[in-house]
Structure formats: structure tokens, C-alpha cells
Structure 1
Amino acid sequence: MSAPGSLADTHTVRSPGHVEYGTGAVAALESFATDHAADTALLVTDDHLSSSGVIDAPRARLEAAGLDVAVYDGVVPEPKLSMVESAAARIRDAGDVLVVGVGGGSSMDTAKLAATAATADESPRELLGRDNVSGRSVPLALVPTTAGTGSEVTDVGVFADDRDGGAKKVAFSPHLFADLAAVDPDLTKTMPPSVAAATGLDALTHAVESYVSLDRTPYTDTLARRAVELVAENLRPAVAQGEHNDAARARMSLAATLAGQAFINSGLGAVHALTYPLGMECDLGHGLANGVLLPHVMAYNVPAEIERFAGVASLLGAERRPGESTRAFASRSVDAVFDLLSDVDVPTSIAAYGEFDRATFERFADIAFEHSAHNIAANPRRMDRGDVVSVFESAAAGR
């Protein structure tokens, strides 16, 4: 086996069936509906998007294709398996139906697993884990309204298990890939600044972790580098100006999709492992937890991938000083992320979200290894339980 990211090896690219990107991409739903000849479309979304009119554009395209449109808007952030069960029941009852997930990662993940559960006529809980989905006959389209999760182009779904104290559970299967991902930045116009910041930092975390993952490939490197660069150039104006900066929002949508396509083919790293217990304990959204932890995990990882983190520093806009060592420049990738957090009003310490002690961090480490060992295994620097505790302590101390 060659070094990670080597062109000397053969690599597989996993991808959804079709990606339509750009302003007006939601129009692709019309031909998607026509091609699949269903009678009904079920929009899977949340109550805010349903009541605020954000789903009107997808609905109009589906109705233009002659479909009756029903709405399941029971999704909430950090979706629960019970919501997937409710959505799957609606799909089964609808008969000849196609499913369209509209929203952030929560709505899209719910749509993915509900469509597969409806096909299998099984409980979503039985489909958790790796490759436990036997197939999906229900057509599935995903339409993001945030710029961060990349869920529209991934084959995973993350859910809170109502029966297990809200523990996060993951489903992995190629059957979770959408038939169509319609990435239309027009649908991100109503994102509040806090959501734009959190989801943008989620995209950055995906890109950075993909770029240094032990399972990276030349394909994922290309996607990850460009995603980091796009976030560095556009997250600040996308948060500060929102609907008044179409270009920044469009580039953030592209960054999120590229980063999603990158990490689904490279794996992630320790940030995503440590996010599990932090999110559960503090009720933090996934993107925000990723963003707060990212620079602290990066600081731990720099010694293992000095050249790569020097590249990240450059992509984030840092300029190498005369005589500066590669190691010192690599560490400035961490400073660049801290600066970005501050500029989009996100804390640089987890202490902003609660009081912690070493016993708590030891418990967090147990949770991380129990639920996300695969992410720790792909991390570029080896980690044991004590290392995880140390990173949490650093994250509590802050910058």
C-alpha cells in the first residue's frame, strides 16, 4: 500500500446518481418527477421551512410535473429515529410516491432513511450500522437549504436514538445516496447568521478532516483543497451579508457539496468523534460542535501532517513569513481557524457551553471510542483515551 493520497493506487469514487448545482437548480425537480412517473411527492422538511415559504419553490416544480404534493414537517435539528419512523409511515401510506428532502442535514438524513425504511418495510433502527439496507425503490431527491452538511451527496445518516438516551447512531449504505441532489443557493437566502456560521464551519471541518484523513485519495484531495479555499474566502461575507451577497452564498453552497463529496470518499477524523459526546452533553448542533472543536484537534494533529497543515494555512489565507519553518507555518492553520471562529461570532472554547471537569472528559472519551472509533482510526495522528481527554482539556481552555 502506498502513502495516503497516492496516485499509485486505484481508488473508488462514491457519488449520488445526479448532482444539479447553481442558481435555479431546484428546477431539476420537475424533470426528476416526470422521469419517475409517481402520483405524489412527499416533502420531508421542518416546520420553519414549511411555514416560512422556503419549500414553495420545490413544491411548485413538483406540482408543475403534475404531482400532488404532501408535506411531512416534523423534523427537528439532530433528528430522532422516531421522526424517521413517522416519515416512513407517511411514505408507505402515500402509495406511488417519490420523496424530496428539503432543508439542512437533519431533513435530508431523515428523508434518506425514511425512504429506505419504507422500501424495506422495516424499522429504521434495523437499518443502522454499515450496509444493513438491502435496497430502495422509492425515488429520492435532496435539496439543501443550508451550506454545510453536504448530506445531499453522502450515503450516511446520523440520528439520535430515542430509546438509548439520545445517543447518536449512524446508518451507512450506498442506498442512502440520492437519485438527485439539487443544490440551489437561492434557497439559502433566509439562513440566519448563526446558522450560516455553524453550517459553514461544518463544511470546513469536513474539508480539513478529509484532506488529512489516512484514507484520503487524490480525488478527495482536490475537492477538499477547493472547499477549504472557498470557505476561507466566503464564510465571513456569507454570514455578515446573507441574502445581500449572492456570490458568497453560492460559493458556500459549492464548498459544502465539494466537502461532502470529499469526506464520503476519504473518511473523517477525530473532530467528528469528539463531536458525539459534546453534542449530546451540551445539546449543541453538529456543525457548531465541529467548529468549536476543529482548531483544537488540528493543533493536536499538526505534528503528524506538517506539510498538509502548511497547505491548509495557505488555503485559509495565511502568508508564509521570511525564514518561517514549515512547522511554524503549519501551526498557523490553527490560528487561521481561531480567527475565522471569532469573525463569525463562534466561541473558541467549549467552556462557553458548560462546565467540565476531567471526569466528564474521561466519560466523553469513552463515548467517542464507543460510537466513533472509525473516525479516530482515520485520524492522521494516533489517539488513545488519554489523548482525547487532553484535546477536550485544550478545548475547554480555549485559545
Structure 2
Amino acid sequence: MSDIGSLAESHTVQSPAHVEYGSGATAELESFASARDAEAALIVTDGNLAESGVIDGPRAHLEAAGVDVTTYDGVAPEPKLSMVEEAAAAAESVDLIVGVGGGSSMDTAKFAAALAATDRPVRALLGMDNVPAPTGPLALVPTTAGTGSEVTHIGVFADEREGGVKRVAFSPHLFADLAAVDPDLTATMPPGVAAATGLDALTHAVESYVSLLRTPYTDTLARRAVELVAENLRPAVTQGTANDTARARMSLAATLAGQAFANSGLGAVHALTYPLGMECDLGHGLANGVLLPHVMRYNVPAEVDRFADLADLLGVDRRPGESDRAFADRSVEAVFDLLEDVNVPTSIAPFGAFDRETFERFADVAFEHSEHNIERNPRAMDREDVIGVFAAAERGRES
């Protein structure tokens, strides 16, 4: 195992005020609302979850506390700033906001709570530390096992005024007061969603573990998250509700990975996902998963020991006499194997027609809008390096 860093140094840990984890964790919403003497609450979610009844449990726990519950169900994948504005308007007369869903719903709930608590326009809150004050009471309830949004202080939104360019908000004021992580709510995930969100969690854990801002705290979380994904993503995808244990462990993996990257930052996968997802209309988790092994392959020379750790955590058996570098390289192969087993492409080629000019444009977007992630990547990257990783990702596993 690599050195996890000096424990003599001081490291800040940022986290939600309260994390409740396990089957039935949504029941905590009742005491959460009661402790705040809440009379009215807004659930922020998407139309599918509202129609399917997934939000009925959270609603019932709020109503058990005597709370009048209304719903904003206009969230869509890759949420827009206009959705934040709509949700904030719906929250004008409520005492607390509850985000129920995947990362899109939870991010929208976070930013709607921030917007409702200020008189500033939504775009003035974007960027680093531009949320001026704590939001009103906020609870987040994930229904997927991947984004970790329930325990992060980050929101990502498409800006319609800028042609759908993704904009990011970072602020400690975006942390939830309660993250209720109830694996029971993930039971309705289709296999494709379980795969994409699980790969999102793996990406968060891997990037946290090799981030230049990593700490002993984030290392511990990231390592366990990688192990949990390696052991449980395949059965969670292929067996679904026939394997509740795997689903529950994937929920834990996602939350651990979320807390890891909230404190360590991410890396180049997230920078490159940004233009790929926009251009090809790919969900964030799927785009992360496809790009992850290609960025890992690029990064291995800079962090051989850590990628050797990752190979071990991913379940790779070390061969007698195998060098650290050869073993580290097999961490990449382990991720390719995982993608294939959960029916996710190992190349970006199925998602569009690409050429050098496309990749040059992608590189420009990555540096313009996500340079902070490139700066935290363990191996330095310039524009040609980014173009090269995209080209390798188009060629696929054998590149």
C-alpha cells in the first residue's frame, strides 16, 4: 500500500451535518422536520420518480411530522439553471427542501435552496464560494448509487444562455443538513442506470485516490469505495433486486466516494467528460466510465505505486515476480473488464463521429471550463495530451 501521507499535517474535512445510512434511513426525515418545527416542505425530484411512487416514502415520513408537502418534479438529466429557478420559486413558502433522486435532482435541490435564501440572481451564485450564506434546511435522499451528490458541496448545471455550457457552483453552504442514504430506494434502477452510476462512483474514488489534493482521510474513503465497487457492481447490475446486498454496498460506495472527492478534488476524467457529455448528449456517469480507463492509462507513469494499489483493490491477482509498473498497468485492464461485464463501451466511438478538429475543440472546452480538474490530475496535461487521450479513447481498449 502506498504511503497515505503525513498524519502530522493538518487537513480540513468538509461534510454534511448529518449522514444517515442504511435500509429505512429515509425515516430520519420525520425527526429532521420535527426538530425544525417545519410546516411545509418541497420535494425536488424528476417526473419519473414522482410518477413511479419512489418519492412516496420520503413524503410519508415528512407528513408523519405534520408537514404539508408539495413537489417540484421538473428536473431532467443534466439539469438546467432554469430548473433551479423554477424549484426556488416553488420553495418560496416552505420551511425545508428535500432533494430526492439522482445527482440531477439533488444538485437542483441544493442550488434551489441557495437561490431561495438570497435575493441574488442564479448566475451570481455560480463559481467558487459565491453562495453568500447558509441555505434553509436541506435534506438529500439519493435513489441511485453513484453521484455522491448527497454528501458534496458542488452542483453542475447547463446554462441555456450559453448554449448549454455546463456551469459549476462550489460552496460549503451547499452541503446538506441531512443526507439520508437508503439503499432500498435504489431497487428500481434499471441495469443501465445501475452500471453508469456505479462507474461514476468508481471514477470519483479513483480520481480522489490519485488527486494531487488527496489526504489520509480521503485515501481511506477512496480505497474502500474502490473495493466495494469492484466486489458489487457486477451483481448489482446483473442481478438487480435479487441481490439487495450488492445494491446496498453500492450505495455505501457512492457515498464514501462522494465524501472522498468533496475533500480531495477530482482529475482529468471529469475535465474530459465535460465536452464529451455536452457534444454527444451522454449522461455524466456513462461518460466518466468510458473515459476512466483511458485517463488511468495516461496517469499510471506518474503514480505507479498508487495504481498498483488500485489493481489490488480492484481484485487483480499479482503474478510472481511482476513489477510494480506491470501490476499498475493491470489496474487499467481491470476497469476495462468491468466496463465490458456491465455492458458499457470501452471506446467513445459508438457515441459519435470524431476527428482531430473535434478533439481540439474538446480540449479547448476542457481547459476553459474544467481546468481546476486538470490541475489536480497526478500527471501534467497540456492541450496535446488531452487530444491524445481522446484519440486513444476513440480507438478503444487495444489502443
Paired residue secondary structure (1:72): strand
C-alpha deviations, 1:41-99, integer Å up to 9, x for none?
1000000000000000000000000001100000000000000000001111xx24210
Paired residue secondary structure (1:120): coil
> Where in structure 1 do 4 or more consecutive aligned residues deviate above 4 Å?
none
- The equivalent residue for 1:233 is 231
d(CA) in 2 for partners of 1:121, 1:40: 21
**Would the aligned equivalents of 1:120 and 1:136 in 2 still touch at CA under 8 Å?**
no
Q: Which amino acid aligns with 2:18?
A: H
Pair 1:4–1:215, CA change in 2 (3 A): farther
Q: Which amino acid aligns with 2:5?
A: G
The 5 Å alignment of 1:1-399 reads 5-92=5-92, 95-399=93-397
Q: Which amino acid aligns with 1:61?
A: H
d(CA) in 2 for partners of 1:51, 1:285: 21
Paired residue secondary structure (2:91): helix
Instruction: State the shift of 1:4 in Å.
Output: 7.8
**Would the aligned equivalents of 1:150 and 1:257 in 2 still touch at CA under 8 Å?**
yes
**Would the aligned equivalents of 2:34 and 2:65 in 1 still touch at CA under 8 Å?**
yes
Structure 1 residue runs of 5 or longer lacking an equivalent are none
d(CA) in 2 for partners of 1:366, 1:137: 34
Scaled by the length of structure 2, the TM-score of the pair is 0.98
**Would the aligned equivalents of 1:4 and 1:215 in 2 still touch at CA under 8 Å?**
no
d(CA) in 2 for partners of 1:35, 1:383: 49
d(CA) in 2 for partners of 1:326, 1:319: 13
d(CA) in 2 for partners of 1:284, 1:358: 20
Instruction: State the shift of 1:123 in Å.
Output: 2.1
Q: Which amino acid aligns with 1:45?
A: T
**Would the aligned equivalents of 1:115 and 1:136 in 2 still touch at CA under 8 Å?**
no
Paired residue secondary structure (2:365): helix
> Alignment length, in residue pairs?
395
d(CA) in 2 for partners of 1:170, 1:181: 21
Instruction: State the shift of 1:11 in Å.
Output: 0.3
**Would the aligned equivalents of 1:41 and 1:100 in 2 still touch at CA under 8 Å?**
yes
Q: Which amino acid aligns with 1:147?
A: A
C-alpha deviations, 1:252-292, integer Å up to 9, x for none?
00000000000010010000000000000000000000000
d(CA) in 2 for partners of 1:266, 1:339: 27
**Percent identical residues:** 77
C-alpha deviations, 1:216-262, integer Å up to 9, x for none?
00000000000000000000000011111110000000000000000
**Would the aligned equivalents of 1:22 and 1:185 in 2 still touch at CA under 8 Å?**
yes
Structure 2 residue runs of 5 or longer lacking an equivalent are none
d(CA) in 2 for partners of 1:123, 1:24: 37
Q: Which amino acid aligns with 1:140?
A: L
d(CA) in 2 for partners of 1:329, 1:136: 46
**Would the aligned equivalents of 2:135 and 2:173 in 1 still touch at CA under 8 Å?**
no
C-alpha deviations, 1:338-358, integer Å up to 9, x for none?
000000000000001001001
C-alpha deviations, 1:371-398, integer Å up to 9, x for none?
0010000000000000000000000000
